[in-house]
Amino acid sequence: MIYTLLFYATLIVAVTLYSKFRFKSNFFHAGHDIGPLVLLLTLFATNMTAISIIGAPDRSFSGGFNVFITLGCATALIVPFLFKILGTQVCEQSKAVGFVTQPELVFLKTNSPLCRYLFMALCLCFLIPYIIVGLKGGGEIASVFFKEYGLIVDSKITTALVALLIYVYVVIGGIRGTSLINSVQAFIFIFGSIYIMSFLINKNGGLTETIEQIVVKKPDVFKIESQPSLLEVVSFYVITFSVGAFPHIFNHWCTAKSAKTFNSTVILYPVCVVLLWISCVCIGIVANLELTEQPQSPVIIALISVIDQEWVSGVIAISILAAIMSSLDSQLISVGAIVSKNMTRLSLSHEWILLIFLIACYLISIFSDQSIFQLGIWSLIGFSSLTPLLYVCLTQEKVESKLMVMALVSLLFAWALLLFLDQGVASAIVLFVLSLTFSGWMKFKNSAKLKQGSEVYT
Amino acid sequence: MFYNNAKIDVFVMVIFSLLYFTVNIIFPYYVSGIIIILVSNVILILFSILYHILRSTK
């Protein structure tokens, strides 16, 4: 396994150095010339967090294909539409006007510094817990991973190692280096999960024999275990819209060469999602033949000690690391962009901003308990409510600042209240409807103004 | 020049969303096997891919 990890580290260093010396481009928008393949893979890698490669096998171990239907299919269906509707517009407008962050876009359309800072505050408020969760999760998974090999490494050290590696390649490579590394990471975890799935199937005597064994050992695996409620399906579906407001995805949209670059991304993105999710879910289902009961550590990690194959363990290790790191690096770079582009009076360079921010996140992650993981879903709920507002900003020439302030303040209060009352994932629907109402109001006001203007003109 | 391109995509996305809810909320009342729902979802995704292909070649 150690050789596979070394190979992974060398690959990251090589890609970072290649990007540093081969291209001389802007740190935050890479000269707007990222091509279709890198755009597809970097958007895919950024979106696919540890939920798919660690969470999906864990849930499918007992629940079968249910997790793929509720989360995987919604992602494969909706996210390409968001890329098409929002991504292409962000790319074109970013090239024409020069913004790389969402608060800049909001300022451009509302001409209000208050809207800009409110939007920035909301973005950071939702993004910081997401980064902390990723960092803490990555460190803990790495620690559990070493434990499977009999090595006791504290999660504080593994978290620091993950943070340090990400900081180094983000600062050296900028957004272009990060995009290239994300593309390599996407390759690793897509083909890694397919390889692990086919290894497990072959180990059990081929596809037909594996299915027969699973049906004997777990007869309910192809039946609907528990029918998801209407509220559950709609809530998870609404949460998928968070992709449209992720600052790190927005940042990657700005780097695309043109709107046409998105064509292959929207076509191939669902294919990549289905490939990854189906293989991860199959890993979880076939793991029933290897493990007698649901293990305490994640299923995919527990498989390491059962399989006892150095090469497969290495593939599992780098696939997990690639999935975790590919999201964290983009999130980190987007925080740097948000702070340095919108707080122009701040004289710190982006390297220092990233370092201070990462140290703060690291300290919070090591001093927080497991309850911090619950904040991850609240970040997604918050972001999903910002998507309709961003759509209005992108599709209108001007947006009324008073309405935008009202919308942002209401969303912030509603989010905090629902979080305080611990209302669960259904809160996503409430916030999304609130945001849609304000967005509709803004559009209505604009069309009324336009109508009034044309009547005066005629 | 940017502002009116998204309307048709938003409309189609709403249609696909309604189909998704039909498949995942109404189907489970009538079928007990997960494979039918799984295949229906995959067909829905394939149709959305077809839509994107047709839209990109326009």
Kindly report, residue by residue over A84-123, the tens digit of the pLDDT: 999 999 999 998 988 899 999 999 999 999 999 999 999 9
Q: What ranges in chain B are assigned the alpha helix state H?
A: 7-21, 27-30, 34-57
CA dist A132 to A82, A96, A208, A263, A333, Å? Answer: 26, 34, 43, 33, 14
| Interface contacts (A, B; CB < 8 Å) | 100
**Model's pTM, two decimal places?**
0.90
CA angle B49, B51, B56 (to 5 degrees): 95
CA dist A422 to A22, A35, A237, A415, Å? Answer: 50, 43, 20, 10
Q: How far is CA A4 from the centre of its chain?
A: 25
Give the rounded percent of residues in chain A with a pLDDT score beyond 90. 36
Length of chain B in residues, anyone? 58
Q: Say which DSSP state B31 is in.
A: -
Q: Shortest CA distance to A285 belongs to which of A70, A49, A50, A67?
A: A67
Over 70: is that where the pLDDT of A458 sits? Answer: no
Average pLDDT over residues A309-316: 83
Cβ–Cβ below 8 Å for B41 and A73: yes
Over 80: is that where the pLDDT of A51 sits? Answer: no
CA R_g for chain B: 14
Average pLDDT over residues A157-169: 88
Over 50: is that where the pLDDT of B1 sits? Answer: no
Note whether A25 and A31 are within 8 A (CB).
yes
Over 50: is that where the pLDDT of A319 sits? Answer: yes
A225: confidence class by pLDDT, cuts 50, 70, 90 = low
The C-alpha atoms of residue A439 and residue A125 are separated, in whole angstroms, by 21
ipTM comes to 0.91
The C-alpha atoms of residue A310 and residue A257 are separated, in whole angstroms, by 41
Interface of B with A in 15-54 (CB under 8 A): 16-17, 20-21, 24-25, 28-29, 31-35, 37-38, 41-42, 44-45, 48-49, 52-53
CA R_g for chain A: 22
The C-alpha atoms of residue A168 and residue B40 are separated, in whole angstroms, by 45
Query: If you search the block for the tokens 């790389």, which residue do you land on?
Result: A100
Q: How far is CA A378 from the centre of its chain?
A: 14
pLDDT for the residue A61: 85
pLDDT for the residue A415: 93
A78 to chain B: which residues are within 8 Å by CB?
A: 13, 16-17
CA dist B2 to A31, A86, A96, A259, Å? Answer: 21, 11, 11, 11
CA dist A104 to A122, A125, A329, A446, Å? Answer: 13, 17, 21, 20
The C-alpha atoms of residue A264 and residue A269 are separated, in whole angstroms, by 8
Chain A residue nearest residue B51, CA to CA: A267
Of B12, B29, B45, the CB nearest to A76: B45
Least confident of A79-88, A275-284, A308-317, A365-374: A365-374
Cβ–Cβ below 8 Å for B34 and A224: yes
Give the rounded percent of residues in chain A with a pLDDT score beyond 70. 96
The C-alpha atoms of residue A388 and residue A439 are separated, in whole angstroms, by 6
B44 to chain A: which residues are within 8 Å by CB?
A: 73, 77
Q: Hey, of B8, B9, B16, B43, which one would you mutate to test binding to chain A, going by the most A CBs within 10 A of its CB?
A: B9
Note whether A252 and A43 are within 8 A (CB).
yes
pLDDT for the residue A242: 93
pLDDT in tens, B9-54: 899 999 999 999 888 888 777 777 778 888 889 999 999 999 999 9
pLDDT for the residue A320: 86
Q: Shortest CA distance to A386 belongs to which of A26, A17, A127?
A: A127
